C-alpha cells in the first residue's frame, strides 16, 4: 500500500474527528448540567488530541492534513445544531449515536486493510477513545 492511500484514509478519519469536535461543541453549548458539560468538555479535549495525532501522522507520511470537517461535514454540522433537542437525555442519546455510529463503527469500516502498522495502531487508539466515551455516556 502506498502513502497516498494511507493519507487519504487518515484524512477521511480526521475530517470525521473534526465533525465530532464540532458536535461536542454543540452539546457543551446546549446543556445546563455542569457535570454533563464537564464530561463533554473532557471528551472534546481528548478528541482534539486525537486530531493532532492524526495530523502529525499524515504529515509524517508526506501528506497535508485536512484542517476542517469539509463541505459535507459543515453542512451536517449546521443541520445537527439546528435539530439538536433541548432535553439532556436526548442530547446524551444523540452523542452516543454519533460516537458509536461514526466514531466507532464507520471508522472501523473506513480503515479496514488500507493502513500501515503505525497508522493502524493510531486509528485503533482513536477508535478506542470513542468506545470509552460511548460506554461512559451509556452509564449516564
Helices marked H in the chain: 3-30, 34-60, 70-83, 88-98, 107-110, 117-139
pLDDT digits (tens, 9 = 90+) for 84-132: 667 899 999 999 998 898 889 888 887 787 799 999 999 999 999 999 9
**pLDDT per residue as tens digits for the range 13-62:** 999 899 899 999 999 999 999 999 999 999 999 999 999 999 999 999 99
CB 40 within 8 A of CB 97: no
Contacts of 86 (CB under 8 A, 6+ apart): 30
pTM beyond 0.75: yes
Number of residues assigned to the chain: 140
Measured CA to CA, the distance from residue 7 to residue 77 in angstroms comes to 24
Summarised one tens digit per residue, pLDDT across range 63-79 is: 999 987 665 655 666 56
* Cα-based distances in Å from 29 to 52, 64, 94: 23, 31, 14
Which domains are delineated in the chain? 3-139 (1.20.1260.10)
Amino acid at each position: 500500500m502506498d502513502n497516498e492511500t494511507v493519507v487519504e484514509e487518515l484524512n477521511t478519519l480526521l475530517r470525521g474527528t473534526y465533525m465530532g469536535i464540532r458536535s461536542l461543541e454543540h452539546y457543551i453549548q446546549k446543556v445546563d448540567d455542569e457535570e454533563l458539560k464537564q464530561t463533554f468538555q473532557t471528551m472534546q479535549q481528548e478528541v482534539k488530541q486525537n486530531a493532532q495525532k492524526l495530523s502529525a501522522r499524515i504529515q509524517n507520511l508526506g501528506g497535508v492534513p485536512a484542517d476542517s470537517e469539509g463541505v459535507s461535514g459543515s453542512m451536517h454540522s449546521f443541520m445537527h445544531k439546528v435539530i439538536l433537542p433541548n432535553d439532556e437525555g436526548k442530547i446524551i442519546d444523540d452523542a452516543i449515536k454519533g460516537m458509536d455510529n461514526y466514531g466507532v463503527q464507520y471508522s472501523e469500516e473506513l480503515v479496514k486493510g488500507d493502513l500501515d502498522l503505525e497508522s493502524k495502531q493510531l486509528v485503533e487508539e482513536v477508535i478506542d477513545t470513542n468506545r470509552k466515551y460511548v460506554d461512559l455516556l451509556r452509564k449516564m
